[in-house]
């Protein structure tokens, strides 16, 4: 059987556009003599619609779109993803479903069994779990149609308390008792920098264990925080990859189930290249799908704003980015020069607005209130808030979107000012620790100097007071990030960290900072997710809490 894998970029709730892309791929598959074309999970409505699924008109439009798509399935069959109604009076109203379309109509509907409710997933909020494991017979082949998590029954999750034995039913066990010729999997598997290997390992192990080939079709593109990297696969019954589609872009390929000798793989890429591609795609889709075009940011001469600017230009083009330089009396000449050099290197327009006089006017206005008190963090935060106000005024006047430049280390310990440098419509680096920011910046400069070398080499500083360095308030970033990674990403306890050799006083200080700054992160912009534990809806912590003490 000739089977087309259609790896597309969907837009949540955009039924006309999603349907158009699906129908176009069906027609292409017909022209290339395919027997069957497969799309990804919830392809008709886009993944993930969240509480749009609680609106009857949304579900009705999704089902109407599937009927329109089915009308094009003559001489070919297709499998598309979308919500369907649960006919039972008990349980959730909806299923997360795969629709098998043939002869111009819906021939059968197959539902997702394993509904993830961890990390960024909340599917059991909306969907009922499948309990029917019926194969599809088509072109003399028996097909098992599964959806994403259904293949992840035996996932091995390190340091994830409560996820060792998450599910009771194995869909692969249920289907493979019936000896299918092929397992089809519609997926919406979001990117993180270790996900590609984990996902492949799961697919290869399933194929070898059950001695059955698997076709896995993932979506590509970004939906606010979530970035989907594609990488759709066909794996033979020996657990060997026969075909691998592109990463971070749409792709289309046809495989023949009778010819599995080829081994067409994508080139291997290092972690920094994956993160770079993911962030560029995340920015691009956030703007394109939201109807925005132009971006701005405050370019300080520091490494975070420099890296954010490079990524923004890669995603949107230099003609769609304009930056503000906002030096104060504490800004060093080399920081201003570095900012100008980068903007000119990238061909980005910039304006300089000094905040010195504005800060002095604040001091004057507040002098009666602050009489007899020395300058402290209050005045430093005022500088950050002045810059934030100037940037927001610029965005309002000219219709730009402000990109936030804070990194994960700063967000973790609260090293940022609400309504100041934490402003923005999208956080680009909020899931990169500071050491990862340096690493990605060096990747950017691998062939030639784009980010000024001085920006990378100089000690990081907010430049809010004379001679200030980040290390005045925080441990050195190599130590800080090591503790943060173990505590946040690996969910290790304070005692675990101390037992592994970190200084107890430093650990307790860092953990205290993380826990008491949840209120700041709650007010931060959405963050592009590139790790397995990003701040935002993938890490839900109470704001008012006192643990650990």
How is residue 143 written in tokens?
Answer: 């097909």
The string of pLDDT tens digits covering residues 338-386 is 999 999 999 999 999 999 999 999 999 999 999 999 999 999 999 999 9
Cis ω before 48 (30° cut-off from 0): yes
Question: Which burial class, exposed, middle or buried, applies to 472 when counting CB atoms under 10 A from its CB (0-12, 13-18, 19+)?
Answer: exposed
> Are 283 and 313 spatial neighbours (Cβ–Cβ below 8 Å)?
no
- What are the residues whose beta carbons fall under 8 Å from the beta carbon of 245, sequence distance 6 or more? 5, 7, 230, 231, 232, 233, 251, 252, 253, 266
Q: Over pLDDT 70: what percentage of the chain? A: 98
The predicted model scores a pTM of: 0.96
- Per residue in 42-56, pLDDT (tens digit) is 999 999 999 999 999
Using the CB atoms, write b or e for 373-405: b if 16+ within 10 Å: eeeeeebbbbbbbbbbebbbebbeeeebbbbbb
Residues belonging to the active site:
41, 112, 148
Angle at 80 between CA 78 and CA 81, to 5 degrees: 165
- Measured CA to CA, the distance from residue 378 to residue 14 in angstroms comes to 46
Ordered domains of the chain (ranges, CATH):
2-268 (3.60.110.10), 274-470 (3.40.50.620)
- Tokens 């009489």, located at residue: 371
Q: Nearest to residue 246, comparing CAs of 270, 269, 280?
A: 269
Q: What is the DSSP string of 284-312?
A: HHHHHHHT---EEEE--SSHHHHHHHHHH
Q: CB neighbours of 519 closer than 8 A, spacing ≥ 6? A: 543
Residue 257 near residue 235 (C-beta atoms within 8 A): no
Residue 469 confidence (pLDDT): 83
CA distance 476 to 478: 6
Say which residue the tokens 């999208």 belong to: 426
Question: 236 is written with which tokens?
Answer: 């033979």
Helix extents (H) in 55-98 = 56-70
Predicted confidence (pLDDT) per residue in 416-452, tens digit: 999 999 999 999 999 999 999 999 999 999 999 999 9
Place of tokens 């619609």: 49
pLDDT at res. 122? 93
Edge-to-edge strand order for the sheet containing 77-85?
105-111, 94-102, 77-85, 36-38, 2-7, 251-256
Q: Of 149-153, 225-229, 400-404, which gets the smallest average pLDDT?
A: 149-153
- 482-492 b/e with 16+ CB inside 10 Å = b? bbbbbbbbeeb
What is the Cβ-side half-sphere exposure of residue 7, based on CA atoms within 13 angstroms? Answer: 26
Q: pLDDT confidence of 196, banded at 50, 70, 90?
A: confident
Q: In this prediction, what percent of the chain has a pLDDT beyond 90?
A: 88
Length of the chain: 549
Query: Tens digits of per-residue pLDDT, 264-304?
Result: 889 889 999 999 999 999 999 999 999 999 999 999 999 99
- Do 79 and 100 meet the contact criterion of CB atoms below 8 Å apart? yes
Contact 309, 299 (CB under 8 A): yes
Whether 352 and 328 have beta carbons less than 8 Å apart is answered as no
Q: Please name the residues in contact with 280: beta carbons below 8 A apart, sequence gap of 6 or more.
A: 311, 314, 315
Cα maximum dimension of the chain: 88
| Closest CA relative to residue 217, chosen from 33, 36, 69, 11 | 36
């Amino acid at each position: 059987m000739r089977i087309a894998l259609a790896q597309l970029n969907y837009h949540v709730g955009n039924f006309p556009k999603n349907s158009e892309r699906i129908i176009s791929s069906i027609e292409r598959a017909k022209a290339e003599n395919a027997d069957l074309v497969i799309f990804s999970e919830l392809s008709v409505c886009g993944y993930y619609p969240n509480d749009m699924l609680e609106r009857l008109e949304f579900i009705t439009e999704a089902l109407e779109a599937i009927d329109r798509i089915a009308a094009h399935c003559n001489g070919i069959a297709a499998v598309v993803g979308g919500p369907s109604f649960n006919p039972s009076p008990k349980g959730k109203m909806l299923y997360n479903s795969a629709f098998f379309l043939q002869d111009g109509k819906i021939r059968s509907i197959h539902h997702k069994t394993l509904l993830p409710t961890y990390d960024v997933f909340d599917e059991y909020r909306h969907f009922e779990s499948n309990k029917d494991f019926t194969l599809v017979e088509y072109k003399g082949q028996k097909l098992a149609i599964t959806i994403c998590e259904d293949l992840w029954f035996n996932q091995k999750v390190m340091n994830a308390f409560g996820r060792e034995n998450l599910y009771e039913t194995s869909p692969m066990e249920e289907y493979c008792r019936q000896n299918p010729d092929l397992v089809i999997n519609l997926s919406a598997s979001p990117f993180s920098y270790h996900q590609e290997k984990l996902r492949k390992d799961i697919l290869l192990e399933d194929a070898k264990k059950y001695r059955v080939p698997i076709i896995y079709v993932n979506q590509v593109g970004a939906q606010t925080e979530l970035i989907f990297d594609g990488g759709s696969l066909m794996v033979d019954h020996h657990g060997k990859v026969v075909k691998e589609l592109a990463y971070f872009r749409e792709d289309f390929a046809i495989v023949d189930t009778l010819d599995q000798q080829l081994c067409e793989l994508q080139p291997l890429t290092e972690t920094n290249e994956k993160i770079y591609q993911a962030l560029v795609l995340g920015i691009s889709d956030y703007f394109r799908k939201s109807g925005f075009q132009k971006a701005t940011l405050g370019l300080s001469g520091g490494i975070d704003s420099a890296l954010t600017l490079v990524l923004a230009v890669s995603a949107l083009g230099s003609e769609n980015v304009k930056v503000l330089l906002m030096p104060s009396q504490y800004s060093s000449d080399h920081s201003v020069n570095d900012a100008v050099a980068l903007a000119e290197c990238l061909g980005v327009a910039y304006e300089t607005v000094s905040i010195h006089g504005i800060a002095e006017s604040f001091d004057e206005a507040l002098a009666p209130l602050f009489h007899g008190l020395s300058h402290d963090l209050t005045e430093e935060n005022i500088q950050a808030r002045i810059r934030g106000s100037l940037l927001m005024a610029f965005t309002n006047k000219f219709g730009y979107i402000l990109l936030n430049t804070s990194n994960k280390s700063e967000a973790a310990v609260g090293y940022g000012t609400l309504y100041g440098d934490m402003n923005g419509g999208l956080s680009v680096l909020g899931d990169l620790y500071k050491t990862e920011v340096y690493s990605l910046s060096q990747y950017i400069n691998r062939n030639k100097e784009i980010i000024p070398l001085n920006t990378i080499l100089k000690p990081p500083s907010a430049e809010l007071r004379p001679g200030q360095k980040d290390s005045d308030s925080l441990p050195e970033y190599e130590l800080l990030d090591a503790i943060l990674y173990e505590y946040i990403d690996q969910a290790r306890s304070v005692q675990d960290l101390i037992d592994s050799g970190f200084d107890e006083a430093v650990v307790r200080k860092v953990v205290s900072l993380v826990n008491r700054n949840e209120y700041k992160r709650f007010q931060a912009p959405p963050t592009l997710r590139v790790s397995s534990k990003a701040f935002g809806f993938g890490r839900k912590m109470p704001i008012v809490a006192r643990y650990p003490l």
